Structure 1
Amino acid sequence: MSTVAYKCINCGGPLEFNPAKQMFSCEYCRSDFTEKELKDHFGELDEKLNDENNKVDETQTEDDEFGFGGVLFSCPNCGAEVVTDETTAATECVYCHSPVVLSGRLAGDMKPNLVIPFGFTEKDAKEKFYAMCKKKWFLPKDFVSDAHIEQMKGVYYPYWLVDSDKAGSCNATGKKYRTWRSGDYEYKETKTYSISRMGNIAFQKFPQSALSKEDHHMMKFVNPYDNEALTDFSMSYLSGFQAEKRDTERADVQEQVDKELLEYSKKIFKDTMSQYDSVTLDNIQMNTVQEDWKYALFPVWLMTYKYKDKQKIFAINGQTGKTYGELPCSLGKLALFGAGLFVVLSAIIFGLGYCL
């Protein structure tokens, strides 16, 4: 398994992508570089593994040695051997904390086409988390602590992006209602219409999770991303972050994509029938004229924690700041709130009774 740590042009220290500057920064000499500057110096970034300074032991352990698909790699900075998950494509050395990209995980068909770089820093992500927690009255007192917050990490998650041109038609039943009075009588009139629609619908960059792990559902709830920020993939964007490679093929998720696009198509057709008081779709036929799939990595700030022996996930969209996750509830605070509410309501009822 080939690994690479991107080195500072000036001092040789490890480089990390800096979301605040949208540049590559060295924490030792404080130098900043654009992607163009790195390419001018190193050549094509994704092909610079031939550099002897970054060449490391390519020995890969067999999956069954660890029993969970673990892979052993050597840190290019300190030489320590670290075991990582089989879908991890970028991580950091647990000993020297240097960012490491496992290039072999993103080669060939596994190389993403596009990436949305992180839009804000870990510090900003923590501030967003603190701000949200301040609005939650029933959080346990010790939950918002550095012990939890220090577990926050930036992770690139894999998505399929689907461009799909559809041609379709549908039939529906529409109704219009009219009510009026004449003397002592009320009249109701219902007019029923047979509706037909035909048309083409173009879906662009429709996102679908490319990961089958248990937390893949989280990827749906941190959407949407702004596709205007998509850029051509370079492994350098992964430096300083963790990344997961996809473990699904197009065939694995095609049925789910077709199902979701059909539901969106129904909504689009119904939106053209707004002149009716009620609309019922009788049937719909959608055919795919052309479809193109691309593989992309999207940024997420992720925090995992245990509460009552259950592992929970809290996530922040690394571009827009949208949050997702389950936060624990303090039963003690809830009980105190209930008791206080009972006292207030009892006082109000007693006061009303006294006045009456």
Structure 2
Amino acid sequence: MEDIKKQKSELKKACLNCGAELLYAPGTTTLICEYCGNEETIAAKNQGFEELELKPYLDKIGGQSHSEVISMLQCKNCGANQHIEEHYKSLHCVYCSMPLIIEDVCEEEWILPGAVLPFQIDHKKAHQVFKNWVGGLWFAPNNLKKAALNPDLTRGLYLPYWTFDAFLNADYTGQRGDYYYVNVPYTTTQNGKTVTRTRRERRTRWTYASGHVSGFVDDTLVKASKQNTGNIPLKIAHWNLKLLKPFDSSYLSGFVTEKYTISLKDGHLESTDEARKIANYWARRDIGGDTQRVSSIDMQLSNETFKHILLPVYISTYKFKGKRYNFYVNGENGAISGERPYSFWKIFFTVFTVGIIILVVVMLAR
């Protein structure tokens, strides 16, 4: 219990000068006090990432190891589970902006993250990305900018993911296809006469193939949370995992952290499906030839390990004419994706103008 209390106390770090909350400065290894400007360096950890053995966790043995208790608030509107520290002043859901009631806080246990990819761009930069993107939208309503560009509605969120490692062995059977070409005669009519010609057609010669493939499958990434609304678009869900750092709660200071809602067991099932796709690719590569058919794969995974990791994203939510829209910015590389409204009249007049231009061109051509 003392270890759990220690882990919880480390989530909030006080300034040595004034006692205010220290916040993580994105793109650095520094905590900064927003009141007196004092800075504190986050100590580098020499050890690498600790990969946890998968089987004991799936068998619920050792579940207390590498775990801690955290305070959670659940959004009653979209169901998102969010860990929000005391210093975070805006108690609203990062996905749907509905108010979170502090009295509803509850304590839950989670598997302690093994690694975190700290935010590489700050709140100001993320807001500028939003602003530039909205400013460049075609057919957007004129008053969209006023609705969308409120910096207070841009929030930083650490998303939970599972990563899985395993050694893969697979026996396969299939067919190897090699292309060859033949000349095929055909007839056509030319100047009222029937003429015989030939054309070159590609054929495939199939031969039986079987074999064995093996290798290490590293860091299969599986999303560990699911909400009723506000799912992160695949377009921005790409991070450079080489920037991962051994977990330190200091990197979470000033940001919301989402707790996983997809179990380790379900995440493992998805990673196994991904491993099967990898085995299929390796088998096709091993078969060779111009094309391949894989009939069967007998796959075995061994030495399976996993990590719970946290990845950064900024979210902005706003309402426009009664409808809610979400924007997302990758907190590492600045990639953006979002929902947006369209102006009916802008589209109408554009189509009308283009139609007039085409009509004029056709009339002049006559």
TM-score, shorter chain, exceeding 0.5: yes
Report the AA paired with residue 10 of structure 1: N
Post-superposition offset of 1:164: 2.0
Distance 1:311 1:259, change over 3 A: farther
Counterpart position of 2:209: 195
Cα gap change, 1:327 to 1:294, in 2 (>3 Å): same
Whole-angstrom CA distance in 1 between matches of 2:281 and 2:131: 38
2:112 is aligned to 111
User: Aligned residues, how many?
Assistant: 306
CA distance in 1, matches of 2:231, 2:276: 20
Higher helix share: 1
TM-score (structure 1 length as normaliser): 0.75
The CA distance in 2 between the partners of 1:274 and 1:344, in whole Å, is 54
Aligned to 2:124: 123
Aligned pairs (5 A) from 1:107-256: 109-145=110-146, 148-150=149-151, 151-181=153-183, 184-186=197-199, 188=201, 189-215=203-229, 217-218=231-232, 220-256=234-270
Alignment-mate amino acid for residue 156 of structure 2: G
What is the TM-score of this pair, normalised by structure 2? 0.73
Q: CA deviation at 1:125?
A: 0.9
Further displaced range: 182-191 or 234-243:
182-191
- Partner residue, 1:261: 275
Counterpart selection for 2:83 from 84, 89, 110? 89
Aligned pairs for 1:204-353 (under 5 A) are 204-215=218-229, 217-218=231-232, 220-273=234-287, 275-276=289-290, 278-307=291-320, 309-353=322-366
Q: Distance in 2 between matches of 1:192 and 1:337?
A: 55
Whole-Å Cα distance in 2 between the matches of residues 317 and 67 of structure 1? 23
Higher RCO structure, 1 or 2 (CA under 8 Å, sep 6+): 2
Q: 1:296 to 1:18 in 2, by over 3 A?
A: same
Identity %: 21
In terms of mean alpha carbon deviation, does 229-238 or 141-150 score higher? 141-150
SS where residue 129 of structure 1 aligns? helix
**Partner Cα separation in structure 2 for residue 170 and residue 218 of structure 1:** 36
In structure 2, the CA distance between the partners of 1:141 and 1:341, relative to structure 1 (3 Å rule), is same
Corresponding residue SS for 1:169: strand
Does the aligned pair in 2 maintain the 1:90–1:238 contact within 8 Å? no
Q: Which residue of 1 aligns with 2:68?
A: none
User: SS in structure 2 opposite 1:9?
Assistant: coil
Pair 1:16-2:16 in alignment: no
Q: Deviations along 1:98-149, whole A, 9 cap, x unmatched?
A: xx9xx99686x43211111100111111222223334321222222236544
On the 8 A contact 1:110/1:245 being kept in 2, the answer is no
Matches of 1:204 and 1:237 in 2, distance apart? Answer: 25
Root mean square deviation, CA, Å:
3.4
Q: Which amino acid aligns with 2:89?
A: C
Deviations 1:23-81 (A, max 9, x none): 111112222221139xxxxxxxxxxxxxxxxxxxxxx99x9xx9949xxxxxxxxxxxx
Q: Secondary structure at the match of 1:36?
A: coil
Q: 1:118 to 1:106 in 2, by over 3 A?
A: farther
Aligned-partner Cα distance in 1 for 2:250–2:116: 11
Greater mean alpha carbon deviation, residues 292-301 or residues 223-232:
223-232
Q: Name stretches of at least 5 consecutive residues in structure 1 with no aligned partner.
A: 38-59, 70-84
Distance 1:268 1:135 in 2: 43
8 Å contact from structure 1 (residues 89, 105) kept in 2: no
Query: 2:326 is paired with a residue of what secondary structure?
Result: strand
Is the 1:110–1:246 Cα contact (8 Å) retained in structure 2? no
**Higher mean C-alpha deviation, range 138-147 or range 20-29:** 138-147
Amino acid at match of 2:84: A
Cα distance between partner residues in 1 of 2:343 and 2:211: 53
More off after superposition, 344-353 vs 28-37: 28-37
- SS class of match (1:145): helix
Q: Which runs of 5+ in 2 are unaligned?
A: 45-70, 92-101, 186-196
Give yes or no for contact 1:169–1:285 (8 Å, CA) kept in 2: yes
Return the alpha-carbon distance in structure 1 between the equivalents of residues 179 and 128 of structure 2: 52
Sort the Cα spacing of 1:288 and 1:20 in 2 relative to 1 into closer, same or farther, 3 A. closer
Distance verdict in 2 for CA 1:126–1:285, change over 3 Å: same
Q: What secondary structure is seen at the aligned counterpart in 1 of 2:43?
A: helix
